[in-house]
Amino acid sequence: MIIFPAIDIIGGQCVRLVKGDYATAQKVAEDPLKTAEQFEAAGAEWIHMVDLDGAKAGYPVNTEIYKNIAQNTHLKVEVGGGIRTLETIGAYLDLGIKRVILGSAALKNPQLVADAVVKFGSERIVVGIDAKNEMVATEGWLETSNVHYIDLAKEMIKAGVRTFIFTDISRDGTLSGVNLEQLKKLADATAGQCNIVASGGVHTIDDVIACRDLGLYGTIAGKSLYQGTLDLSEAIEAAETVKIRQMTMDDYDAAYAMWLLCGNGLNNIDDSREGIARYLRRNPDTSFVAEENGVLAGVILCGHDGRRGFIQHACVSPDYRRRGIGRRLVQRALAALKAEQITKVALVAFKKNTGGNAFWEQQGFTLREDLNYRNLALTDMIRYDPEY
C-alpha cells in the first residue's frame, strides 16, 4: 500500500483545514519544496497535493509550486483542485505531474473524465470522491449533492477510471481515524475494479495498518505527519505488503511462468530447472523475488563472473505493476552485487522490448549496441556506479 504525504496550498502556503472549512486554514510548514524534500528523505515515492485556491476558484492557481516539486525532487506528484478542462490536465502532465485528480468535474462533467481517460490513460487520471454523510460534495467541498459516493464510483468505473481517492469530509483534518465502514462499503461494491486511496482522519500507525489490512491501494496522511502523531518512515514500512527475499529453487515454477507471461527471451539450457539451479549455486546471494501473501509478484535473476554482474531476467507480474516493485528488485540486486565488490553490471536486453529501456535508463544503465550476448541479445545495457 502506498503512503501519500499531503501538502495543501492556499496563497502559496502549506496549510491544513478541518473538515474542509477554509476558515480553519492553519499554516503547517514554511516551504512546500523543503517539505516535499523531507517527505522524500523519509522514503516517500508519491506526494499528494491540493490547490485549495484552485478548488474554490475553479481553475489552477498555485501551479508553479507543483511544477517546482515535480522538477526538483524524485517524488511522483499527484495534484487536484480547480482542474476542469483537458487543456489543464495536459498542461499539468507536461510539467512532469504524474497524475491529476478530478473532483467536482466527475459529478458535473462526467464526459470530461471519460475523455481524459481516453486521451491520457487511466493511470494518469484519478477521481476524488469527497463525501458528507455519504453524499458527494463539490467545489472545494462548499456544495453537497444528492449523489451517493458509491453510485458515483460505479459511474466513473464505467467511464474507465481505475483509481479513486475517497475522503470522509467530516473526518478530514480531525485526527479522528479513517472511516473504515465507508471505505469497506466502497471496496466491497467495486471489488477488483479499481484502486482505492483512503483520505481523511488518519491519526496513528493503527489507521495505516487498518487500511492496509482492508486491501486498499493507498492512504493519504497530512495533519498527522505535521503534528507528529504519525511517523512517515514507520508508516511506509507498515504499509508495505510486498516483501523482497532471496530466490530459491522453490520459486522456479512461478518464476518461469512469469517469464513466459512477460515475454522474456528463454532458452532450453540456461533457463531450464537444471540451468537455473546451476545459476543459483554459482551466485546464491544476488537473485531475488518479490512476494505478497505467498504470491510471486516479481523476480530478478542476477549473477556475476567475478568482474561484471549480469541481470539475466527481471520482470514484474502484470497484476503488480506501477507499484515500484521493479525498482526495489533492481536496487536489492545491485546492493548484493556491491557487497561482492562488483563494479559493473550488464543487463541483457532485447530490441523487441526497447519500450522498457526507459525504466533501465532511470536505474542508471547505459544502452550499448555493440554487444551480442550468446547470440541472443541485440542490445546491452551497462551500469557503472563510482560509489561501488
Does residue 129 contact residue 154 with C-beta atoms inside 8 Å?
A: no
Q: 331 is written with which cell numbers?
A: 536496487
Q: 358 is written with which cell numbers?
A: 526507459
Pairing of strands 379-384, 344-349: antiparallel
> Residue 93, Cβ neighbours under 10 Å: how many?
18
Query: Could you tell me which residues come within 8 angstroms of residue 147 by beta carbon, excluding any fewer than 6 positions away?
Result: 107, 135, 136
Range 141-150 contact pairs with CB under 8 angstroms and sequence separation of 24 or more: 141/20, 141/55, 141/169, 142/56, 145/107, 147/107, 149/182, 149/186, 150/185, 150/186, 150/189, 150/190
Conformational region of residue 154, where left means phi above 0, alpha means psi within -120 to 50, and beta covers everything else = alpha
Nearest Cα residue to 103 out of 64, 56, 62? 56
CA atoms of 379 and 242, how far apart (whole Å):
31
What does the DSSP assignment read for 297-321? EEEEEEEE-SSEEEEEEEEE-GGGT
Active-site residue set: 8, 130
